[in-house]
Amino acid sequence: MHYSSESATPASASLTRTALAPLVLIVSLFFLWGMANNLNDILIKQFKKAFELSDLQAGLVQSAFYLGYFVFAIPAAMFMRRYSYKAAVVLGLLLYAAGAFLFYPAAQVHTYWLFLLALFVIASGLAFLETTANPLVTVLGPAEGAARRLNLAQAFNPLGSITGILVGQHFILSGVEHTPQELAAMAPAAREAFFATESLAVQTPYLIIGAVVLLWALLIGLTRFPATRAGGDGARAGGFGQLRRNGRFVFAVIAQFFYVGAQVGIWSYLIRYLQDGVPGTPEKTAADFLTLSLVLFMAGRFIGTALLRFLAPARLLGVFALLNLLLCAVAVALPGWIGLYALVASSLFMSVMFPTIFALGLDGLDDDARKLGASLIVMAIIGGAALTAVMGAVSDHAGIHWALAVPAIGFAVILGFALHAARNRVAPLPSTRGA
């Protein structure tokens, strides 16, 4: 994806000498928010067990989380422009840590809505981090190396995602599962003790995460950053007007909404899909397939980047969207092991979708419109809340395998965007670079 370099320093050599430590600290943020995002997939399974939730109710984990992104994306961009990149990053980390620490009282009182509030606070912090870290990486060094630095930083995101799943698998999921009949046969005190124990399992991991994030906020606060500027006011009426009239950009926002919804929905319900299609599968075994999905997602980042040397971004996006549409259809038609492998394989082809949609949507925009446009595309992450809730409702009424029709529709929308972008090419700005 593209972000314009806006360094205020007179010489790139000066930036090079002073930017290494800040760059390492900022690149690590991609790992931290990847971990938070994919721990949610474990939490859905854990809270469903600890609070006896329906699929729709459990899916509120993602709804609360991505609502935080939606609400705070533009305020984060405004804060960054008003103060600085560094101030926005520190505030984002403080919010992230505060949300993680809220897991302690939520578990103590065994209250689901308090967990949802904690997740909203975490996501509000991540909105600051994602809105700020991407452009900041591009200005921490010479302009000619911006794309390489951003690609390196993005590689740490799936590493964080995999770590989040492993933390959840080994330190949150207990492996103790009871059927509804077994729970009904328990004495009330034993049943409540089981629910409380499952709820308390999230306390220690999130306290540790909160402490690490707080330490990172302190390190960044004490580190001297090169003089950089976050740019001028990108929220001018002219910028809004240009975006509103740009059909490709509007379609990109819609496509990103459906992409994030499809990705989050597939990962959120993958464990549930396997345990429903193959009864008796232990939750920790099912979580192994979620880890495999994320490994394929990370591999797809590198494979997709290599393929972009030979294929136009819109064409690659269209091919991958079509493949995932077919894989979701297989998951709907053939629940069980075949459907599971289809869902796992879909992660490989999802890997390039977010940055490619992002880059195609911003092509041809001027600097002010691009800054505002980036914030609006981040707001489209609310698709993760909306489509996951829809999948939960479909699952409750028709079965989990039918819920996979929802991401199939999402990939159909992405295919439509890819075809539109391929037919309506724009001349890229001189510094534009697809990721």
- If you average pLDDT over residues 359-382, what whole number do you get? 80
Same domain, 215 and 338: no
Same domain, 426 and 409: yes
What global pTM score does this model have? 0.80
DSSP letter string, 76-112: HHHHHHHS-HHHHHHHHHHHHHHHHHTHHHHHHTT-H
Task: Report yes or no on 383 lying in a domain.
Answer: yes
Which pLDDT does position 316 carry in this prediction? 93
**Which residue among 231, 249, 272 closes a domain?**
231
Query: How far apart are alpha carbons 335 and 278 in whole angstroms?
Result: 8
Which pLDDT does position 156 carry in this prediction? 86
Beta bridge partners of 7: 228
Residue 329 binned pLDDT confidence (cut-offs 50, 70, 90) = very high
116: CATH: 1.20.1250.20
**Which residue among 231, 255, 289 closes a domain?**
231
Task: Report yes or no on 98 lying in a domain.
Answer: yes
Same domain, 217 and 273: no
Q: Provide the domain count of the chain.
A: 2
Instruction: Name the percent of the chain lying above pLDDT 70.
Output: 88
Burial class (CB in 10 A: 0-12, 13-18, 19+), 372: buried
What does the block give as tokens for 24? Answer: 């390492």
Range picked from 99-103, 170-174, 311-315 for highest mean pLDDT: 99-103
Query: How far apart are alpha carbons 358 and 379 in whole angstroms?
Result: 12
Task: Report yes or no on 1 lying in a domain.
Answer: no
- If you average pLDDT over residues 395-420, what whole number do you get? 97
Same domain, 282 and 226: no
Same domain, 22 and 171: yes
What does the block give as tokens for 284? Answer: 């920790």
**Which residue among 180, 203, 231 closes a domain?**
231
Same domain, 127 and 275: no
Same domain, 262 and 205: no
- Is the Cα torsion angle 351, 257, 291, 25 positive or negative in sign? positive
When the pLDDT of each residue in the chain is averaged and rounded to a whole number, the result is 86
- If you average pLDDT over residues 72-82, what whole number do you get? 87
SS3 137: helix
Q: Give the amino acid at 345.
A: A
Same domain, 341 and 212: no
Which pLDDT does position 229 carry in this prediction? 60
Domain range for 324 is 236-435
Task: Report yes or no on 298 lying in a domain.
Answer: yes
Residue 309 binned pLDDT confidence (cut-offs 50, 70, 90) = confident
Q: Reply yes or no on whether the pLDDT at 77 is more than 80.
A: yes
Q: Reply yes or no on whether the pLDDT at 11 is more than 50.
A: no
Burial class (CB in 10 A: 0-12, 13-18, 19+), 95: buried
Q: At what angle do helices 313-333 and 283-307 cross, to 10 degrees?
A: 160
Residue 354 binned pLDDT confidence (cut-offs 50, 70, 90) = confident
Count CA atoms closer than 13 A to 386's CA, side-chain side. Answer: 15
Same domain, 280 and 411: yes
- Which residues lie closer than 8 Å to 111 by C-beta, 6 or more apart? none
Same domain, 145 and 264: no
